[in-house]
Structure 1
Amino acid sequence: MALRNFKSKELDLFIAIISRMRDKEEEVTFSFDYLKNLIQYETSNSIETFHKELKSMYNKLIKCVYGWETEDEIVRFVLFTEYTIDKKNKTVKVGVNKKYSWVLNAITDGLFTRFELEEFVRLKSSYTKEFYRRMKQFRSTGFWSVNLDEFKRLMDIPVNYRMCDIDVKVLKPIQKELKEKYGLKIQKTYNTKGRGRPAVSGFIFTFLKPVNIENK
């Protein structure tokens, strides 16, 4: 599920909520202060701004399509069954479809510890945030190989982006924010078949595994 269309702070809120809902009951209530602390929210922002961001995040969330298709069936479902912003008591209540609650695990892939969530919210670019989420799925190997079309889909890159656009608007901010700590290296792979200049066919990302980061 690509989440790149969320604004940076909306994505922080979404990941903070679902990472705390894993393996919980069907409904979980969060206080405003708890969420603000999780996402390192600017204290100078007004409460009205926070309300708007909570509302905007959910408006985008309900437009996300969940499901899968096989030869025998097509499945679509709503993951979240309730989202109540209580302005008076300063809480957010979120209800999840119990039958498909395992999807929460798939979205975070069980990788967001408190430390990783804090690191996630410090990232500035929404592309970097989405890449970070994908990268963590390969942290045991420090290696991720992906073809270009799949990378575009996972990162929700506009279809009209050329390779030069991806270099500047996607890969450059990712490299800038993650290279120093994770030793991130980006290698392009090429389709050498046919005539003319070889076209980029995918990427190989290599980065430090957690034990190596701790020893830096």
Structure 2
Amino acid sequence: MEFDQSDLQKALKILDALPQTIKELLSKHEIKKEELEPTLTPKPTPLKEPQNTPTPCKDLVVTTPKDKTYITYHNNANKVNLGKLSEREANLLFAIFQRLKDQGNTLIRFEPQDLKRMIMVKSNLTNRQLLQVLKNLLDNISGANFWIIREHVENGEIYEDHTSYMLFKQFEIRIHKPTQTIEYLDVQLNDNYQYLLNNLGMGGQYTSFKLLEFQRVRGKYAKTLYRLLKQYKSTGIL
């Protein structure tokens, strides 16, 4: 059952007037050790040898029409406060997630035309504007609270190790210096977060929605609410 667009837009307008609500909802969530394993996946995603040559985005097999393309990821990604992302940055991040889905630790190369197609329904961004979106996205993702907490017992005492990892193992922007325009973007998911996008199984620990529908939602806090509502629809838990 899809959202009624008129009701959705009314809810989103109300939400955008209450940004602190969403910030409080997400600000203190952390990823626990027992949540690290993907649902119904007995073995971790097999990792390939490190790549020297990226796989072009256009070479990834895509058989689904754009208006029916879904983004699916582990619910733990919803626990990270992404409130600093602008609409365009959020559109691009989740479009990248969709391309990285079930690709393991593949290094993927995005050309400027790939990124412009991914960023929103209709995009007239110049190459320089696109470069600024990428730089802002990297800055905001670097500041997000991607923490892994592991509990262990040592000499009868209980300890927690809090470790912060970057979401991406590689996020490399090749820039043509004289014109300050993008040649390409290389992206590879950090091994510690492979479970967010790979081998999700059928146990309900994931969020799934139409990428195009998400990109049409206006307002960065409204986009957060949309993701949480989709998770709640599947699990009954926020």
- After TM superposition, is the score higher than 0.5? yes
Match of 1:75 in 2: 162
Q: Contact 1:80/1:96 (CA < 8 Å) preserved in 2?
A: yes
Match of 1:99 in 2: 192
Report deviation, 1:68. 3.6
Paired with 1:94 and 1:81, the residues of 2 have a C-alpha distance of 8
Match of 1:86 in 2: 174
**DSSP-derived class of the 1:23 partner:** coil
**DSSP-derived class of the 2:124 partner:** coil
Q: Does 1:12 find its partner at 2:91?
A: yes
Q: When the two structures are superposed, what TM-score results if normalisation uses the length of structure 2?
A: 0.51
Paired with 2:195 and 2:110, the residues of 1 have a C-alpha distance of 20
Aligned amino acid, residue 169 of structure 2: T
Q: Contact 1:16/1:39 (CA < 8 Å) preserved in 2?
A: yes
Paired with 1:41 and 1:49, the residues of 2 have a C-alpha distance of 16
Match of 1:21 in 2: 100
Paired with 1:41 and 1:109, the residues of 2 have a C-alpha distance of 25
Paired with 1:109 and 1:31, the residues of 2 have a C-alpha distance of 29
Larger fraction in helix: 1
Paired with 1:95 and 1:39, the residues of 2 have a C-alpha distance of 18
Gaps (5+ residues) in structure 1? 147-216
Change (3 A) 1:104 1:47: same
Q: Does 1:123 find its partner at 2:217?
A: yes
Report deviation, 1:41. 5.9
Paired with 1:4 and 1:104, the residues of 2 have a C-alpha distance of 21
Aligned amino acid, residue 79 of structure 1: L
Paired with 1:94 and 1:130, the residues of 2 have a C-alpha distance of 23
Aligned amino acid, residue 128 of structure 1: A
Q: Does 1:109 find its partner at 2:206?
A: yes
Q: Percent identity?
A: 25
Per-residue CA shift, 1:127-184, capped at 9, x if unaligned? 110011111112247x56x6xxxxxxxxxxxxxxxxxxxxxxxxxxxxxxxxxxxxxx
Higher relative contact order (CA 8 A, sep 6+): 2
Q: When the two structures are superposed, what TM-score results if normalisation uses the length of structure 1?
A: 0.56
Report deviation, 1:22. 2.2
Match of 1:206 in 2: none
Change (3 A) 1:126 1:73: same
Gaps (5+ residues) in structure 2? 1-79, 152-157, 177-181
Match of 1:58 in 2: 138
Paired with 2:218 and 2:87, the residues of 1 have a C-alpha distance of 7
**DSSP-derived class of the 1:128 partner:** helix
Q: Contact 1:82/1:95 (CA < 8 Å) preserved in 2?
A: yes
Paired with 1:110 and 1:30, the residues of 2 have a C-alpha distance of 25
What is the count of residue pairs matched by the alignment?
140
Q: Contact 1:6/1:57 (CA < 8 Å) preserved in 2?
A: yes
Per-residue CA shift, 1:93-132, capped at 9, x if unaligned? 11222233113469x93514xxx11111111111110011
Paired with 2:123 and 2:193, the residues of 1 have a C-alpha distance of 35
CA RMSD after TM alignment:
2.6
